[in-house]
């Protein structure tokens, strides 16, 4: 667990540095779009996730791969330079944490609140709208919702806003019941 904390802290520091640079260069929207593309690539490609996390690839190889990917995707120059820097410093494995941190910083700067919603089944458009409205009411700010499907929840919903977690999943309720029965 200590490693996750270190990576997260490294990710937060890199995210802050990238956000500061993008703000200074007035390229926050472009960099955010590039990072969103990287996030999507990571979600869709097992090979990309292995490249990011595996120590089998050298920092140089990771840098070359990210540079080629960034050039092909026509990422903004700020994003391309950042990817080169993170690779040169051997911190490519922190890229997912950097993306999350950057998204949170960009949302805060826009006055929005980032929320991650996890459900057992994909949400319909009406359900997504309902969750957004409930979050808007509860938080007093417009939420920027990222949804993810996790069948292990069995049912219900988990919503994370910053460090706050609302867990109304069936899996969590069953685990609580199991714990209560063990103590009885």
User: What CATH number is given to the structural domain containing 148?
Assistant: 3.40.30
Whether 89 and 7 map to the same domain: the answer is: yes
pLDDT at 147: 87
Whether 135 and 63 map to the same domain: the answer is: no
In the chain, DSSP assigns E strands to 113-119, 143-149, 156-161, 164-169
pLDDT category, 146, cuts 50, 70, 90? confident
The answer to which of 32-41, 70-79, 90-99, 155-164 has the lowest mean pLDDT is 155-164
Whether 60 and 136 map to the same domain: the answer is: no
Phi, psi (degrees; rounded to nearest 5) at 49: -65, -40
**Which of 87, 108, 129 is the C-terminal boundary of a domain?**
108
**Which of 69, 84, 108 is the C-terminal boundary of a domain?**
108
Tokens of residue 43, six digits: 């979600």
* Average pLDDT value for residue range 67-86: 94
Task: Say if CB 148 and CB 177 are below 8 A apart.
Answer: no
For 114, half-sphere exposure in the C-beta direction (CA atoms, 13 angstrom radius) is: 15
Residue 35: pLDDT over 70: yes
**Which of 108, 125, 154 is the C-terminal boundary of a domain?**
108
Whether 152 and 122 map to the same domain: the answer is: yes
pLDDT at 8: 52
Whether 78 and 149 map to the same domain: the answer is: no
| 128-144 confidence digits (pLDDT tens) | 999 999 998 988 888 88
Task: Find where tokens 């460090």 sit.
Answer: 163
- For the chain, the average pLDDT equals 88
Task: Say if CB 146 and CB 115 are below 8 A apart.
Answer: yes
Higher-confidence position of 112 and 55: 55
pLDDT at 72: 93
Whether 38 and 66 map to the same domain: the answer is: yes
Count up the domains in the chain and report the number: 2
Whether 30 and 77 map to the same domain: the answer is: yes
pLDDT at 5: 43
Task: Find where tokens 């609580």 sit.
Answer: 176
Q: 2 in the Ramachandran plot: left (φ > 0), alpha (ψ -120 to 50) or beta?
A: alpha
Dihedral sign computed on CA atoms, order 128, 130, 136, 139: negative
pLDDT category, 4, cuts 50, 70, 90? very low
pLDDT at 2: 38
Whether 13 and 45 map to the same domain: the answer is: yes
CATH of residue 82's domain is 1.10.520.20
Whether 19 and 58 map to the same domain: the answer is: yes
Whether 92 and 131 map to the same domain: the answer is: no
* Average pLDDT value for residue range 65-78: 94
Whether 73 and 124 map to the same domain: the answer is: no
Dihedral sign computed on CA atoms, order 114, 35, 95, 20: negative
Which range marks the domain in which residue 164 is found? 112-183
Report the percent of the chain where pLDDT is more than 70.
Answer: 95
Tokens of residue 52, six digits: 């990011």
Whether 66 and 133 map to the same domain: the answer is: no
Q: What whole-number distance in Å separates Cα of residue 104 and Cα of residue 114?
A: 6
């Amino acid at each position: 667990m200590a490693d996750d904390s270190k990576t997260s802290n490294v990710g937060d520091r890199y995210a802050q540095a990238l956000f500061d640079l993008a703000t200074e260069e007035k390229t926050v929207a472009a960099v955010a779009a590039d990072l969103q593309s990287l996030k999507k690539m990571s979600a869709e490609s097992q090979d990309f996730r292995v490249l990011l996390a595996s120590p089998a690839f050298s920092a140089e190889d990771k840098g070359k791969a990210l540079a080629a990917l960034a050039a092909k995707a026509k990422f903004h120059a700020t994003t391309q330079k950042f990817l080169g820097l993170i690779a040169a410093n051997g911190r490519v494995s922190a890229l997912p944490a950097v993306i999350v941190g950057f998204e949170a910083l960009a949302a805060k700067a826009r006055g929005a609140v980032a929320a991650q919603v996890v459900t057992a089944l994909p949400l319909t458009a009406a359900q997504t709208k309902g969750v957004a409205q409930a979050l808007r009411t509860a938080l007093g700010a417009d939420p920027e919702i990222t949804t993810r499907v996790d069948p292990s929840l069995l049912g219900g919903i988990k919503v994370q806003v910053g460090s706050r977690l609302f867990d109304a999943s069936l899996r969590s309720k069953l685990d609580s019941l199991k714990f209560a029965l063990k103590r009885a």
